[in-house]
Amino acid sequence: MVTRRDFIKCAGGAVAALGGVETALASTGPHLDPDRVGVLCDFTLCIGCRRCEFACAEEAGLPHGELRAYDDTGVFAATRRPDAESLTVINRYPALSADHKPLDVKVNCLHCEHPACVSACPVTALQKNALGPVTYDPWRCIGCRYCMVACPFQIPAYEYHDATAPRVMKCTLCQDRTLEQGRPPACVEICPQEALLYGSRASLLRVAKARIEAHPDRYVDHVYGETEAGGTSWLYLADRDFHQLDLPEVASTSPAEVTESIQHGIFKGFSGPLMLAALVGVILKSAGACEKCEAEAAARNEAGKEADHE
């Protein structure tokens, strides 16, 4: 009989034999361009004018009101999340003290360096472009919504209202503008405060750290997104701990990296399925053996009965 312990030993051995766990862990993750872009969002500069919300809706062809309708600060009464019709939202958090101003926080897809949504998508409708954006192709999407479960920031939304061709909705970093036209995303372009800075992720990190160094009283010493979830293309600066701003404390390894290393480990060289087949074979074989015993016993019974008659 094969115990659970034996099974794990065998499976591990087989995987190791077929290339090793180390290689399996290291080989995950997309190829990333060293000049890949990102956006630095400095919450302390944001004034909550919501122009970025307007520009985003306009660019994405989503329903939106007049520009001046976005002057309404009444929306700050509740904490909002991006949804299928607003891919980015601004939330307002109270000022730390009378000398501070309230902090306005922009929420949208962070374009992870190693995105869990991409990893979870079975049809590569979501992809991490080497230049930074996590792009979406609605023609490939089968609507399984695994991405929505996988995202550590709970960003992707779904067009539940559309019965015919619903899409997964999330910021794509204006993939047409950024990747094809070389222009900054619409939100960055409209931001009057230049609270949003578009550029290479590496230089944005330098700028962010220089700001913290120059104004230690203005910022917490933390660039959110530098390491969160394995790093993100969006980087945030704030005047307080980020968990107070409903930004989750996520591990510095990408969830995708963890799950992929297990999955890739198991499936490397098709060893997992082979092991499974072998296991099923063993089970079937032992089951078959018992059936044979039963058949023999039955035969013996039959023979005994016949002898009694005679």
124, 100 Cβ separation under 8 angstroms: no
Please choose, from the candidates 13, 5, 82, 134, the residue with its C-alpha nearest in 3D space to the C-alpha of residue 246: 82
Quick one: tokens of 102? Answer: 């309230």
Give the one residue of 10, 18, 25, 47 binding another protein; rule: CB under 8 A.
47
Of 17 and 67, the one with the shorter C-beta distance to another protein is 67
Give the one residue of 10, 60, 144, 203 binding another protein; rule: CB under 8 A.
203
Part in contact with another protein (CB under 8 A); list of ranges 195-203, 225-233, 272-280, 288-296: 195-203
Of 115 and 265, the one with the shorter C-beta distance to ligand SF4 is 115
- Give min distance, CB of 66 to another protein, in A: 10
Q: Work out whether 209 is an interface residue with another protein (CB under 8 A).
A: no
Between helices 4-17 and 255-267, what is the axis angle to 10°?
Answer: 90
Residues 73-109 as b or e (16 or more Cβ within 10 Å = b) = eebbeeeeebebebbbbbbbbeeeeeeeeebbbbbbb
Q: Work out whether 170 is an interface residue with ligand SF4 (CB under 6 A).
A: yes
Give the one entry of ligand SF4, another protein, none that residue 113 binds, where binding means its C-beta sits below a cut-off of 5 to 8 angstroms depending on kind: none
Give the one residue of 210, 262, 277, 298 binding another protein; rule: CB under 8 A.
210
Residues binding another protein: what is the number (CB under 8 A)?
21
Please report, as residue ranges, which positions from 246 to 285 form the binding site for ligand SF4 (by CB under 6 A). Answer: none
Give the one entry of another protein, ligand SF4, none that residue 68 binds, where binding means its C-beta sits below a cut-off of 5 to 8 angstroms depending on kind: another protein
User: What is the DSSP secondary-structure string of 73-127?
Assistant: -GGGGS----BTTBS-EEEEE--SSTTS--EEEEES---BSS-HHHHH-TT--EE
Distance CA 77, CA 88 (A): 17
Quick one: tokens of 34? Answer: 């060293």
Q: 157-166, long-range: CB within 8 Å, 24+ apart, which pairs?
A: 157/82, 157/83, 157/84, 158/84, 159/84, 160/84, 161/84, 165/138
Distance CA 212, CA 48 (A): 21
- Give min distance, CB of 191 to ligand SF4, in A: 3
189, 54 Cβ separation under 8 angstroms: no
Please report, as residue ranges, which positions from 218 to 237 form the binding site for another protein (by CB under 8 A). Answer: none
SS3 label, residue 162: coil
CA distances from 229 to 75, 106, 111, 259 (A): 29, 18, 10, 13
Q: Work out whether 195 is an interface residue with ligand SF4 (CB under 6 A).
A: yes
Q: Work out whether 109 is an interface residue with ligand SF4 (CB under 6 A).
A: yes
Residue type, 143: G
Of 15 and 52, the one with the shorter C-beta distance to another protein is 52
Give the one entry of another protein, ligand SF4, none that residue 39 binds, where binding means its C-beta sits below a cut-off of 5 to 8 angstroms depending on kind: none
Please report, as residue ranges, which positions from 87 to 146 form the binding site for another protein (by CB under 8 A). Answer: 101
Please report, as residue ranges, which positions from 9 to 38 form the binding site for ligand SF4 (by CB under 6 A). Answer: none
- Give min distance, CB of 120 to another protein, in A: 33
Contact positions toward ligand SF4, by CB under 6 A?
A: 46-52, 90, 104, 106, 109-112, 115-117, 134, 151, 153, 155-156, 170, 190-191, 193, 195-196
Contact positions toward another protein, by CB under 8 A?
A: 45, 47-49, 51, 67-68, 71, 73, 101, 184, 191-194, 197, 199, 203-204, 207, 210
